[in-house]
Amino acid sequence: MKNILVIHQSAELYGSDKMLLLLLKSMDKANFYPVVVLPGEGPLKQELEKENIKVVTAPVLKVYRKMFTPKNLYRFFKDIKKGVNLLDKLNGEYRFDLIYSNTLAVLLGMFYARKRKIKHVWHVHEIIAHPKIFAEAYPRLLNKTAHKVICNSFATRDNLLQRVPALQSKTVVVYNGLDESQRVSNVAAKADFGFTQEDIVITLVGRISRLKGHKWTVSAFAKYLKTSNAKLFFVGSPVPGQEYYETELRDIIKYEGLENKVTILPFTKNLKQIWDVTDIALMPSTEAESFGLVGLEAMLAKKPLIASNLGGLKEIVLNNETGYLVDPLDDKALADALIKLMDNPQLRKEFGESGYNRAKQQFSLQNYLNGINSVLEAES
């Protein structure tokens, strides 16, 4: 049995968090024993502990935009020592055969793997285009410090290779995958969330942030759909410390007179009921998504998906077959795509069925697990 040190950036249950949970829950414990390091408490930690997976909390050396200040840099270097000391204690007990860093946002695995000469697999879930210093630095770090790099889409891989072509020999693409069996709960009705049966519910699930497209959606809706029977359903919360994004969004909604047209629901683990009441799923990202797990969830729920023609979303959505791809920040293009689906219930059904079949065939949970496990087995 191989012992694997797993380091992850958060203890929440958004995209990369969910994929890690599914991987570790399904991991063959006869072959691998995972020990997970998270930065704090949260639902991911709780779910892992339900599976009797050992979880410890420690500074994971998370990268963030405002880290380059004297105070934050001092804290960062202090955390390196603290994190390494904690990992030394764990390594003394478990003698790790492999370190698996999940997302580029954590650097602790990189530092510790080099210091203790342990093989390092880095799973990339991000497309970083700016700040330029990060966009240029990460591919070089990967090339120097990772034995193997897993990318969650070809768009993610290509973003790295265009900066450091030498990474190609150590990079593999493994798509995220889900199984419809994960969607278990009672069926919800539109009335449960304050909608009427006549409302066409357009749902955007995701962090309230600068890149998920909430403001763009409201802008397009205000210009072209304000008098329609459509309602916007935003499901998600801002990153702690970035609550101002939600404040700005609510201010725009109020300014446009859309208070009765937009419902904002905080993050919920039970997305199955969200999809129950959804007519059209939306992923209007204004920057390239590396994959877009929410889109896959919508497809498994047989919902037509409108997404930005960017990044990994182009690998998930088949334009005019499972949904529509639209150019980012084009209000009219987004509204036109919405209107086509709003006006045609049969088209919504056809796109939903096609999306479901595509999700089952191309993005299954088993394909994802097989891909990750094959890398871990080869490297450990």
Q: Identify the DSSP state of 296.
A: H
Same domain for 191 and 261, yes or no, is yes
d(CA 357, CA 365): 14
Cα–Cα distance measured from residue 211 to residue 132, given in angstroms and rounded to the nearest whole number: 17
pLDDT of residue 48: 97
Q: Tell me, what CATH number does 129's domain have?
A: 3.40.50.2000
Residue 152: domain span: 2-177+364-379
209 and 356 within one domain: yes
- 60 in the same domain as 38: yes
Cβ proximity of 98 and 378 under 8 Å = no
- Give residue 115's pLDDT: 94
pLDDT at 65: 60
Shared-domain flag, residues 336 and 294: yes
User: For residue 147, what are the CA distances in angstroms to 31, 85, 107, 171, 327?
Assistant: 20, 23, 15, 9, 37
**Is there a single domain that holds both residue 241 and residue 172?**
no
Same domain for 323 and 346, yes or no, is yes
Say what the pLDDT of residue 78 is.
82
pLDDT at res. 268: 86
The Cα 324–Cα 308 span in angstroms is 8
Q: Are 136 and 158 in contact (CB under 8 A)?
A: no
Q: How many domains does the chain have?
A: 2
* 151 and 214 housed in the same domain: no
Q: How far apart are CA 376 and CA 66, in angstroms?
A: 33
| Residues 212 and 244 reside in one and the same domain | yes
Phi-psi region of 194 (alpha: psi -120 to 50; beta: other; left: phi over 0): left
Residue 81 is predicted with a pLDDT of 87
The torsion angles phi and psi of 97, rounded to 5 degrees, stand at: -90, -20
Distance CA 380, CA 377 (A): 5
Q: Are strands 148-151 and 120-124 parallel, antiparallel or unpaired?
A: parallel
135, containing H or E segment:
helix 132-145
The predicted structure's pLDDT at residue 240: 83
Look at residue 185 in the predicted model and tell me its pLDDT.
59
161 and 287 in one domain? Answer: no
Looking at the structure, do residues 237 and 110 belong to the same domain, yes or no? no
Nearest to 128 by CA among 148, 150, 103: 103
Residues 114 and 252 in one domain: no
Residue 270 has what pLDDT?
82
Give the pLDDT means over successive 10-residue stretches in the chain (380 positions): 95 91 92 95 95 94 67 74 93 97 94 96 93 90 96 97 97 94 71 96 95 97 97 93 94 97 91 95 96 95 97 97 98 98 98 97 95 92
Whether 220 and 283 map to the same domain: the answer is: yes
* Strand blocks (E) in 148-210: 148-151, 171-173, 200-205
Sheet of 305-308, strands arranged across? 262-265, 230-235, 200-205, 280-283, 305-308, 323-326
